[in-house]
Amino acid sequence: MTPLHFDYPISVAVLYYGGEAGDLQDTEEAVEGITQALEENGHVVRTMLVNERNWLRAVRTPGEVVFNLVEDPMWELYVKVGQRLEMLGRAQVGHDMKCFKYATRKAWVKNRMQKLGISTPNFRIFNRRSKFSQVRGLEFPLMVKPSRQHAGIGISQDSVVIDQQELEERVKYLFSNFPGEVIAEEFVDGREIHVTLMGNNRRVVALPASEVSFGGEFVDNWDVYSYEAKWDKKSWEYWDARVEAPAKLPRKLEEKIEKLAIGAYRAFGCRDIARIDLRLNEKDRPFIVDVNMNPSLNKFDDQDATLASVYALDWTYEQFVETLVAITYKRVYGRLPDRIRERQLMLTA
């Protein structure tokens, strides 16, 4: 894959949501990195911190391409911003709002994968009226996680349960702390592989796969890529879970994983960029455990799985961001800007 480049500068808007939590700090750092990368390549970047008071004004921030990074805890503001951007015909990076339901409801992702025959661990979905007898047919240990969270929220060492009693306790805990359904799926105790994909329609390309290696204290714990492992730099999990790319995989297995990831990308209507997270069992059979339509783009996180894959291509962060913006631009406008388009924009101005 060759990086894309603009011969003429464009304007980009970056809308985001801030906060003190680790995942929100990651977003703010990503905004800084994206801004620096695009400005270094001569583009005009406007950023806005979005809240309930200014979101209507924020969606009109000038920009031929828009990053919607308004990832508030319940996604309510994100949805308002995304829907209004679509209503205004703005060019948003990433998924449309039609398939956004899969980004916020992992239970729907699991059901769709099951319906389409996409390889994923066996599972059951619990709502507040479910009986725990529904777990029959699943083999312990199980991974138990909230359906409507992202960025690893609600996932910890306690998420892996080994018997019925632990399952019931964990499900009750999640119902007490998070809205929506709870998913219990068979825990695949093996390698964790992340595949970032870029492109649209027939042109979808998989970047070199990255792998999360669990060392150190993970020897005596579950190999779980938890919230702490992703964001909490004060935790042992963060420092003992290392991301490496390219993942060392046999060629046939690499091709199998890539085919599975691209199939899921298309099945869920992903656009521009997404990351597919998989686990390999003892027989190297891949299972998709998550479809991440909003992967982190933080250049300041040296453990970012997507960027590890980017750097494995010998790309710079600046090349990656400009390529992502160019993919979005071409999807919406049909082609990258040229002298004719520049003249039209100047006359309009």
pLDDT tens-digit readout, 246-286: 999 999 999 999 999 999 999 999 999 999 999 999 999 99
Q: What is the pLDDT of residue 303?
A: 87
Q: What is the pLDDT of residue 23?
A: 77
Q: Mean of the pLDDT values across residues 331-348?
A: 67
Residue 1 has pLDDT above 80, yes or no: no
Q: What is the pLDDT of residue 133?
A: 67
Q: What is the pLDDT of residue 198?
A: 97
The domain 192-312 having CATH identifier 3.30.470.20: the answer here is yes
Q: Mean of the pLDDT values across residues 297-319?
A: 94
CA geometry: angle at 92 spanning 326 and 21, to 5°? 110
Rounded to the nearest integer, the mean pLDDT of the chain is 91
Distance CA 309, CA 196 (A): 7
57-71, 89-103, 209-223: segment of lowest average pLDDT? 89-103
Distances (CA, A) of 101 to 169, 242, 275: 28, 30, 16
Residue 17 CA from chain centroid, whole number: 16
The domain 122-186 having CATH identifier 3.30.1490.20: the answer here is yes
Q: What is the pLDDT of residue 348?
A: 53
Q: What is the pLDDT of residue 120?
A: 97
Q: To which H or E segment does residue 264 belong?
A: helix 251-267
1-5, 130-134, 326-330: segment of lowest average pLDDT? 130-134
**For the chain, percent of residues with pLDDT exceeding 90:** 77
Q: Mean of the pLDDT values across residues 174-189?
A: 94
25-29, 42-46, 62-66, 191-195: segment of lowest average pLDDT? 25-29
Q: Mean of the pLDDT values across residues 189-209?
A: 95
pLDDT band at 43 (very low <50, low <70, confident <90, very high): very high
Q: What is the pLDDT of residue 132?
A: 73
Burial class (CB in 10 A: 0-12, 13-18, 19+), 76: exposed
Q: How many other C-beta atoms are found inside a 10 Å radius of the C-beta of residue 269? A: 14
Helix axes 106-116, 251-267, angle to 10 degrees: 110
pLDDT band at 152 (very low <50, low <70, confident <90, very high): confident
Partners of 13 in beta bridges: 46, 66
Q: What is the pLDDT of residue 264?
A: 96
Distance CA 23, CA 95 (A): 20
Q: What is the pLDDT of residue 347?
A: 47
Q: Domain 11-94+316-348 carries which CATH code?
A: 3.40.50.2300
Q: What is the pLDDT of residue 339?
A: 54
Q: What is the pLDDT of residue 134?
A: 63
pLDDT band at 321 (very low <50, low <70, confident <90, very high): very high
Domain extent listing, the chain:
11-94+316-348, 122-186, 192-312
**For the chain, percent of residues with pLDDT exceeding 70:** 96
Is the distance from CB of 179 to CB of 170 less than 8 angstroms? no
User: Shortest CA distance to 49 belongs to which of 84, 73, 24?
Assistant: 24
Q: What is the pLDDT of residue 343?
A: 47
Write the DSSP string, 290-337.
EEESS----TT-TT-HHHHHHHHTT--HHHHHHHHHHHHHHHHHSS--
User: Shortest CA distance to 113 belongs to which of 286, 255, 271, 282?
Assistant: 286
Say what the pTM is: 0.92
